[in-house]
Structure 1
Amino acid sequence: MNQPVKQYKYYDFVMAAFVTVLLCSNLIGAAKAAQVTLPVLGTISFGAGVLFFPISYLFGDILTEVYGYGRDRRVIWAGFAALLFAAVMSVVVLALTPVADAFNQDYQKHLTAVFGNTPRIILGSITAFWSGSFVNSYVLAKMKIATKGRHLWLRTIGSTMCGELVDSSLFYVIAFYGIWSDHQLITVAIAQYLLKTGWEVVMTPVTYKIVGFLKHKEQEDFYDRHTNFTPFRLKV
C-alpha cells in the first residue's frame, strides 16, 4: 500500500520565489554591465544580474536542506522550463515585424538591446544553471548525511562553492570562448565566482532563519539516505 504524499504549507511558495528570482536575474540584470571596486581585486566588471542570481542558490540550499534533493530537483526543472520558455518567447517577440511608426521602430531597438541575447549566451545560461543547481543540491544532500545534520553553514557554503564553480565555468566557456581572450575569460569568470560565493557567506544568517522557520512549520528535516540522485526524473 502506497504511503500518502506529505503535504507542505510553504513548499509551493519557495518554488515560486525561486523561479521568480531566476527569471528576473536572467532577464532584467543580464544585459547591464556594471563595475565595482574591491580590495585587492581593484575595479572589476560584472553583469548586474549577478547581484541577485545567487539568491536562487540560497533557495536551492533551503529546499534541499528542508525538503530533500527530490523536491529540489522538481524546482530546478521548473526553473529550467521557465528559462527555456523565456528564451523562446524573446526570440519570437523580437522576430515579429514591428508596426511602421516611429514609436514601435524605436521600441524594437530597445527590446533587441535588452532581450536580444545571442544563442550562445542563452545556451550557456540555461546549461550552466541546470548543471550548477544539481551539483549544489547533490553536494548539500551528501554533506548533510556526512555531518549528521550539523554545521549548516558548512553545507550551504560548501555546496554553493561547488555549484557556482560549475555554473561560472560552463557559462563563460560556452558563451564567450573564442570571442574573449583566454585571460579576460578566466579573469571575469573568477571575479563572478567570488562575488556569487561571497553572497552565500553574507546571507548565511538569513539562511539559518529561513531553514529554522520552515523546519518548525513543516515538521520536516529530510535526509537523502535512500534517494535516487539522477537529475533526469520528476518523481520525488
Structure 2
Amino acid sequence: MSNEVLLCISVILLFGGTLLFYYLMGITGLYCWTVLATISANIEVLILIRAFGMEQTLGNVMFASTFLVTDIISEIGGKEKANRAVNIGIMTSMMFILISQLWLLYTPAQGDWAMPSIQAIFSNTPRLMLVSFAVYAICQKFDVWLYHKWWELTDRKYHDHSRFLWLRNNGSTMISQLLNTVLFTLGAFWGVYDGKTLLSVLGSSYVIYLVTSLIDTPFVYLARKIKPRSEA
C-alpha cells in the first residue's frame, strides 16, 4: 500500500476517531484523545517518509487532530475547556519525556531484546520532544486565543453567534499551523538535515497542515450536531 493511500486513510481514521471519542465520552473523550495524540505524534515524528512528491515526517496528521480537538471544544464547551485540553497535552508531553528518558537508565537483563531498539528510538528524541513540548504549548494556546478572537469579530459585525464556523476554524488553524511548522521544523531539525531537506520538510508539513485544516472543517460541523452518548 502506498504512502499516499496510507496518509489518506490516516486522516479519515484519526479525524473520525476524534468524533467517535466525543460521541462516546463527550468532552472527556476529547481530553483522552489529546493524551493519545500527543504521545503518538511525539513518536511518529521520528519517521521521515516521501509522499505526494514531498519528504515529510509522520505525526503531522496526528498532531493536526489536536487542533481539531481544541476547535471542537472551543465551539461546544468554550475557551476555558479548550485551554484545559491544551494543558492536558502539555502535561502529557512533559511526563512522556521524563518517563521515556527514565527507561534508558535501566540496565537490561542478559535475555533482553527490546532495549537496543528503545535506545535507538528514544536516545535521539530529547531534542524533538522538548521542541515539540514548547511548540505545542505556544501554538495550541495561540490557536485557542485566535479562534475566539475570530468569533468575537464576527459576533460584533453580524450579531449571530452560530455563523462563520468555517472562518474561525480555518482562520485560527491555518495561521497557528504556519507558526507551528516554522517553529517545530527549525527547532527540531536545524543541523540534523541539510538545507534542501529542511525546506522540503517545512514546505510539505505546512501543505499537509493546510489540507488537513480544510478537511477538518466538516468534522467540526458534525461535532456540533452530535449529542454525546454520555449526555443522552
TM bin (shorter chain): 0.7 to 0.9
The aligned counterpart of 1:175 is 188
Q: What does the per-residue CA deviation read over 1:172-204, in whole Å, with 9 as the maximum and x for residues that have no partner?
A: 221222333344323311210110221121122
The aligned counterpart of 1:82 is 92
Do the aligned partners of 1:165 and 1:193 also contact (CA within 8 Å) in 2? yes
Indicate which of 110, 118, 140 corresponds to 1:100.
Answer: 110
- Take 1:174 and 1:214, find their aligned partners in 2: how far apart are those partners? 40
Return the offset for 1:25: 2.2
- Take 2:94 and 2:126, find their aligned partners in 1: how far apart are those partners? 12
Do the aligned partners of 1:21 and 1:56 also contact (CA within 8 Å) in 2? yes
- Take 1:116 and 1:61, find their aligned partners in 2: how far apart are those partners? 34
My pick for the range that moved more, 51-60 or 183-192, is: 183-192
- Take 2:31 and 2:93, find their aligned partners in 1: how far apart are those partners? 14
1:34 partnered with 2:44: no
Indicate which of 115, 119, 122 corresponds to 2:122.
Answer: 115
Q: What does the per-residue CA deviation read over 1:40-86, in whole Å, with 9 as the maximum and x for residues that have no partner?
A: xxx21212221222011100111112222221111111111011111
The aligned counterpart of 1:126 is 133
Question: Structure 2-normalised TM-score?
Answer: 0.79
Aligned to 1:45, what secondary structure does the other structure show? strand
1:69 partnered with 2:79: yes
Name the aligned partner's letter for residue 71 of structure 2.
Answer: D
Q: Structure 2 vs 1, CA of residues 52 and 76 (structure 1 numbering), >3 Å: closer, same or farther?
A: same
RMSD, aligned CA:
2.0
The aligned counterpart of 1:164 is 177
Q: Structure 2 vs 1, CA of residues 91 and 178 (structure 1 numbering), >3 Å: closer, same or farther?
A: same
The aligned counterpart of 1:18 is 34
Structure 1 residue runs of 4+, over 4 Å off? none
Whose radius of gyration is greater, 1 or 2? 1
Do the aligned partners of 1:134 and 1:163 also contact (CA within 8 Å) in 2? no
Do the aligned partners of 1:66 and 1:214 also contact (CA within 8 Å) in 2? no
Q: What does the per-residue CA deviation read over 1:129-158, in whole Å, with 9 as the maximum and x for residues that have no partner?
A: 111101111111110111123211111111
Indicate which of 185, 195, 199 corresponds to 1:186.
Answer: 199
Structure 2: tracts of 5 or more residues without a match = 1-24, 156-160
Do the aligned partners of 2:73 and 2:81 also contact (CA within 8 Å) in 1? yes
- Take 2:55 and 2:115, find their aligned partners in 1: how far apart are those partners? 27
- Take 1:109 and 1:31, find their aligned partners in 2: how far apart are those partners? 16
- Take 2:26 and 2:153, find their aligned partners in 1: how far apart are those partners? 27
Aligned to 1:208, what secondary structure does the other structure show? helix
Instruction: Quote the sequence identity (%).
Output: 23
Task: Choose between structure 1 and 2: higher helix proportion.
Answer: 2
After superposition, residues 49-64 of structure 1 pair within 5 angstroms as 49-64=59-74
- Take 1:54 and 1:87, find their aligned partners in 2: how far apart are those partners? 20
- Take 1:123 and 1:205, find their aligned partners in 2: how far apart are those partners? 32
Structure 1: tracts of 5 or more residues without a match = 1-8, 38-42, 219-236
Name the aligned partner's letter for residue 197 of structure 1.
Answer: L
Return the offset for 1:214: 5.4
Do the aligned partners of 1:35 and 1:44 also contact (CA within 8 Å) in 2? yes
Question: Structure 1-normalised TM-score?
Answer: 0.78
- Take 2:78 and 2:28, find their aligned partners in 1: how far apart are those partners? 14
Aligned to 2:51, what secondary structure does the other structure show? strand
Name the aligned partner's letter for residue 74 of structure 2.
Answer: T
Do the aligned partners of 2:55 and 2:200 also contact (CA within 8 Å) in 1? no
